[in-house]
Structure 1
Amino acid sequence: MKDKVIIFFTRIPTLGKNKTRLEPFLSKELCVKLQTAFIKDIYNNIRSMGIDIIINYSEHGDLEVLKSITHKGIYFLKQEGKDLGEKMHNAILFSLKEYRNVALIGSDLPLLNKKDIEIAFSILETKDIVISPTYDGGYYLIGMKEENPDIFNIRYSTSSVFEETIDKIKSTGRSYGKGNIQLDIDDKGDFLRLHKILKEDESISCDNTRKLVKEVMGKCDKNE
């Protein structure tokens, strides 16, 4: 059995299916470009870590689009399940058949860095589960060494997702640790916060996202 794997849980960049909460601040076309930039930057960061990657992709869209912006040697797994929780659980269950330590990450996280991943796997060395929160009350990473279907049986797309999941973990008696907090990009406010962070810190490695954000904000400035 192999040591560890990262499950990259993402939508395929598809018109009308990506970052819809950013509309009409961004056009449908720009939402697709933004999703593409996020995927490229996250993928480039995690690929350089030398950890196996499984890309767990949504049913909507052309898989070839996703393959064209990632590496040919990556394993692609279609998302299966009636809701978000079941889809994540099924991806983790599949991966645990071959790996001892599994961490699933989202794709709305252009600021995600190697340290976030390293800390998560470090926590898994001594805990049953690791969960890393987002500023809006959700989580962007969940990892484990054994399947835990009960912890995915919650209401998603709310500001209490992280806390509800923690409560579920506690009810199972599993040990857990919290990873670094991160910013996920869902709406205009998140996008503007991302712009501010990137403007203030040139060292952050997300070249594709940085370029697109700068382009969008440059047009906004001209239109004011």
Structure 2
Amino acid sequence: MESANHTDPPTQEPLPNSDRVLVIMAKAPRPGAVKTRLTPRLPPDTVTSFYRCLLDDTLALALSLRDVEVAIMCPEPDVNELAQLVGPEVSIVAQNGAGLAAGLTSVFAHFAEGRGRRIIAFNSDSPHLPASVLEGAFDKLAAHDVVIGPTFDGGYYLVGAKAAHRALFARDGMGTSTALDTLLSRAQALSLSVAFAEPFYDIDVADDLARLAAELRLAPEKAPRTARWLKEWELSTTQPRAGAAQS
């Protein structure tokens, strides 16, 4: 399998004065802490290696956008480890509280700061998303209070706003089967206008892994580190074990 020692993603100068901010919701890649719904299919250390590739490619995607400040929001214990992994061009911010809902609330509380910036919180496991979708989400946010990128399983892979709306995310995360409906209900209750990015899929369960592998076999340039990892993983699962009977 591909090791965790990848080359660094493309770099950009920090843009603290940009009016567009893309915040990746991430965790430090530790066994048992990331992509836990894949562990029935893969060992925890293998899942961790896979997540590191997803995160690297997601950072590369984010840094490919022009005139966008890129940051990571993470649990407080993960700050130092992630800072060592991603380098100084990406700011690392500790969320207030535990869980993804607290992280999302922290994104907009931290980056909005009454400055009228367009802020998008983006998950760390959709590096295969076309950059044009993120650009389109920023464009839609210019004319709406909230923009949402729905997933096919009832969650969402991104959410954007120009102000902190704390009631939007109480007790909910991006990846549950009812997360999108809950978010939309809360936006309606707050009288917020909503626009949608294109529906997409993220990587939560084994079927998602197989779908991503099939997509990246055809277009590995979308997420090159992840594509290499998946190719090696598929080879390792199909090659005969040493000592197995040969036909």
Q: One fold, TM greater than 0.5?
A: yes
Within 2, Cα distance between the matches of 1:206 and 1:99?
Answer: 32
C-alpha distance in 2, partners of 1:3/1:209?
30
1:211 — aligned with what? 228
Match of 2:159 in 1: 142
Question: Which of 110, 114, 126 does residue 127 from structure 2 map onto?
Answer: 110
1:73 paired with 2:109, answer: no
Corresponding position of 2:213? 195
Which stretch shifts more, 162-171 or 93-102? 93-102
Structure 2 counterpart of 1:146, which letter?
A
- Is contact 1:111–1:182 with CA below 8 Å preserved after alignment? no
- Give how far 1:24 is off: 3.5
Match of 1:151 in 2: 168
The TM-score normalised by the length of structure 1 is 0.91
Supply the distance in 2 between the matched residues of 1:83 and 1:28 (Cα, whole angstroms): 20
Contact 1:119 1:180 in 2 (8 A): no
The CA distance in 2 between the partners of 1:179 and 1:20, in whole Å, is 27
Q: Give the counterpart letter for 1:73 in structure 2.
A: E
Equivalent residue number for residue 238 of structure 2: 221
| Distance in 1 between residues matched to 2:103 and 2:86, nearest whole Å | 22
Q: Aligned in 2, Cα 1:15/1:83: closer, same or farther, shift over 3 Å?
A: closer
Q: Partner of 1:44: helix, strand, or coil?
A: helix
Please tell me the residue identity of whatever aligns with 2:159: I
Q: CA deviation at 1:164?
A: 1.6
- Output the amino acid matched with 2:179: V
Q: Match of 1:5?
A: 21
Is the CA contact (8 Å cut-off) linking 1:131 and 1:142 kept in structure 2? yes
1:1-224 matches, cutoff 5 A: 2-50=18-66, 51-61=68-78, 63-64=80-81, 66-97=82-113, 98=115, 100-153=117-170, 155-156=172-173, 157-199=175-217, 201-202=218-219, 204-223=221-240
Asked whether the equivalents of residues 185 and 191 of structure 1 are also in contact (C-alpha less than 8 Å), the reply is yes
Tell me how far apart the structure 1 counterparts of residues 46 and 220 of structure 2 sit (CA, whole Å).
24
Matching residue's letter, 2:198: N
Deviation at 1:59, TM superposition (A): 3.6
Q: Scaled by the length of structure 2, what TM-score is found?
A: 0.83
| Aligned residues of 1:127 and 1:177 also touching (Cα < 8 A) | yes
Instruction: Give unpaired runs (5+ residues) of structure 1.
Output: none
Contact 2:18 2:69 in 1 (8 A): no
The one-letter code matched in structure 2 to 1:21 is R
**Alpha-carbon contact 2:95-2:102 (below 8 Å) kept:** no
Residues 14 and 61 in structure 1, CA contact (< 8 A), matched pair in contact too: no
The one-letter amino acid paired with 1:52 is E
Q: Give the number of the structure whose alpha-carbon radius of gyration is greater.
A: 2
Classify the secondary structure of the residue corresponding to 2:117. strand
